[in-house]
């Protein structure tokens, strides 16, 4: 019996976290090609719409071909406010001070473009609540540097996990790729999974 090889998969993200998470679905034979798009939120764009649009635009930004293209975007939101990726200590401190002692949402959107051009999308929404952080706890977290380049200024898979009082939803979605939704999306497109 001759088996047809699986069509190639491209992960349209340079995130090592998304790469690692995709591996948890048993996928190791994929390439990485980060999509370069303008990630500026549109005026009055809701966090949910923004996350979906970013995932969709990343999936469509790569050249079409005989490949599946998987893209994702993760947004940390307080109400309608989209928190930035923390590129400096001041931004991280502002984000974490805002999140301290309160609930926020993490929206993780994924989009999959099939070789025939069909686009499928899913969205994971997770509610997270940080404990009320003391100045000392906040300073210690900032000093550790995990916040660098992270939406909302934190990485749940690191020491921030010890500051989170509870979570309702997808842990992997907060990390950057909701595995349940990703698996379902790949399967619905006919991509072979083990």
Q: Nearest CA to 114 among 4, 16, 2, 6?
A: 6
Q: How far is residue 114 CA from its own chain's centroid?
A: 20
Catalytic residue among 29, 36, 49, 73: 73
Q: Tell me, yes or no, if 116 is annotated catalytic.
A: no
Q: Using the CB atoms, write b or e for 164-193: b if 16+ within 10 Å.
A: beebebbbbbbbbbbbebbbebbeebebee
* CA–CA gap between residue 13 and residue 35 (Å, rounded): 6
Grouping H, G, I as helix, E, B as strand and the rest as coil, residue 167 is strand
Query: Is the C-alpha dihedral spanning 147, 150, 154, 160 positive or negative?
Result: negative
The set of catalytic residues is: 73
């Amino acid at each position: 019996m001759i088996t047809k090889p699986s069509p190639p998969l491209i992960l349209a993200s340079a995130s090592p976290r998304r790469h690692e998470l995709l591996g948890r679905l048993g996928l190791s034979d994929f390439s990485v090609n980060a999509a370069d798009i303008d990630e500026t939120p549109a005026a009055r764009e809701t966090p949910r719409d923004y996350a979906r649009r970013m995932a969709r635009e990343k999936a469509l930004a790569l050249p079409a071909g005989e490949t599946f293209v998987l893209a994702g975007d993760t947004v940390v939101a307080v109400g309608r406010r989209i928190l930035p990726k923390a590129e400096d200590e001041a931004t991280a401190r502002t984000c974490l001070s805002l999140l301290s002692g309160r609930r926020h949402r993490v929206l993780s959107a994924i989009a999959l473009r099939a070789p025939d051009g069909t686009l499928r999308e899913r969205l994971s929404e997770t509610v997270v609540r940080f404990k009320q952080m003391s100045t000392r706890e906040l300073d210690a977290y900032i000093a550790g540097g995990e916040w660098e380049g992270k939406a909302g200024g934190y990485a749940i898979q690191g020491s921030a996990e010890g500051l989170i009082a509870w979570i309702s939803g997808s842990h992997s979605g907060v990390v950057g790729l909701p595995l349940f939704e990703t698996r379902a999306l790949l399967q619905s497109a006919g991509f072979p999974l083990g």
